[in-house]
Amino acid sequence: MAYMHRIDTEELPTQVIIPVESTAGLQVAIGLAPVNMVANPKVNVPVLCNDYAEAVSLMGFCSDFKNYTLCQVIDANFNVFQNAPIILINVLDPKKHKKTYTKDNIPVVSGVATIEEYGILLDGLTVKAGGTAMTKNVDYITGFTTTGAVEITLLDTEKTADVTMIGVEGNILDPTMITKEDIIGGYNVSTGEETGLEVLRQVYPSTGYVPGIVLAPHWSKEVEVAATMAAKVKEINGIFEAMCVIDIDSEIYTTYTEAMTAKDDMGVVSRDAVLVWPKQKLGSKVYDGSVIWAAVTATTDVNNSDIPKKSPSNELSNMTATILEDGTEILLDNTRAAAINSKGIVTFINDNGWRVWGNNTAAYPTTTDPKDRWISCRRMMNWYRSHFILTYKQFVDDPTSYRLTEAVVDAENVYLNSLTSGGHIAGGEVQFREEDNPITSILNGQVIFYTKIAFWTPAEHITNTIEFDPALIQSALQGGE
């Protein structure tokens, strides 16, 4: 060691532990995307999308929201609400879910022929004029429109001279081949492949994001899918909790009284589930109710420092109508909407603009425990648990010393106090209690912290008691003398 005869300094790591926040309303959507439009289709893998252009480049986009359900999620979040990021899981495999496609007499207008059908696979597509095959990139080029149609642009060659009609042969995606089993998915023991909702497990390891809201537009109305969703959002990766949002089938349940019976028919009574009825529309675009609820919820979180303290109820949905599956418009007043809410179902009302209406999880009225009944409280609990895990996982496997427990208690109480002073929670405190941590547990590598926390419940019913007071008239008259 060198001989020291000088003044010196050194730095120690800062003892302040920076809280790690999870994206409270991060949406993970399972469904179908028009992946025929992208070069490297992603099938049964989580795809992180930060904006509209990225989502279109990775998943494709078309205006057929009914068949290509993930397009609803892309459009609602990036074009209507400007939410980001979102995670999409496409189950439509262009190698398997396709059928042959042939079409003749496609008119050529100003050198361009348009195939309006969605899902055309450009790879292997044959273009003919007068029964003679033309050569791609020599006689013509192909591309997609912003709505998902195919444009075939003829180049100036001998084969294209005076061509007014063309024909095509090839393959097209077949969304009808997808079943609820594909959405539910599973694990292949032989290949190790995970599909459908099973892929939810991959979200955090592959993206670093914790799922907040899980949805499966169109498909969640299936009883088996709904049950699987409610099960899969529990203990994701063994540690995280999320919410799922489930649609009630508005083709079967067409009135508000019928909708009130749907939960019993579906068997959804989970605190981790939100039931929504019916659909919503913006102009000609139709969205499943789950898509709008999730998008509104994510926006509400963003407007509240990315903390899910505020219920999405009474927030504008930015839609123009509420409809059934067949397009029939539904106009609920407060009385009927409240009746639906009483069954633990969320709906929409028009009150100076269409709004989400309902605060209860699907667990209500079976349970009235505030942390399980109120959507905002349930989401706050999930969010807080994720925060604690993400912030203090750095201490796992450290020596079980006073320094460790003090660091966690001090840092977390500072954080809880900041949440309280900011009005995000009613209060909270974390402790390291001796009675929870006997020496036998410490020797076995187990450390337990104890937290008391309270979230604000929604002011669902506000009343002003008004009394007519004749004395005020007398006082006014006397004052006028």
pLDDT in 10s for each residue of the chain, 481 residues: 566 655 555 555 555 556 555 578 899 999 999 999 999 999 999 999 999 999 999 999 999 999 999 999 999 999 999 899 999 999 999 999 999 999 999 999 999 999 999 999 999 999 999 888 999 999 999 999 988 999 999 999 988 888 999 999 999 999 999 999 999 999 999 999 999 999 999 999 999 999 999 999 999 999 999 999 999 999 999 999 999 999 999 999 999 999 999 999 999 999 999 999 999 999 999 999 999 999 999 999 999 999 999 999 999 999 999 999 999 999 999 999 999 999 999 999 999 999 999 999 999 999 999 999 999 999 999 999 999 999 999 999 999 888 999 999 999 999 999 999 999 999 999 999 999 999 999 999 999 999 999 999 999 999 999 999 999 999 999 875 5
> What's the whole-model pTM score?
0.92
Residue pLDDT, tens place only, 125-137:
999 998 889 999 9
Residue pLDDT, tens place only, 394-437:
999 999 888 999 999 999 999 999 999 999 999 999 999 999 99
| Among the listed residues 372, 375, 352, the one whose alpha carbon sits nearest the alpha carbon of residue 460 | 375
Domains and CATH numbers, the chain: 27-92+178-376 (3.40.50), 98-173 (no CATH), 397-481 (no CATH)
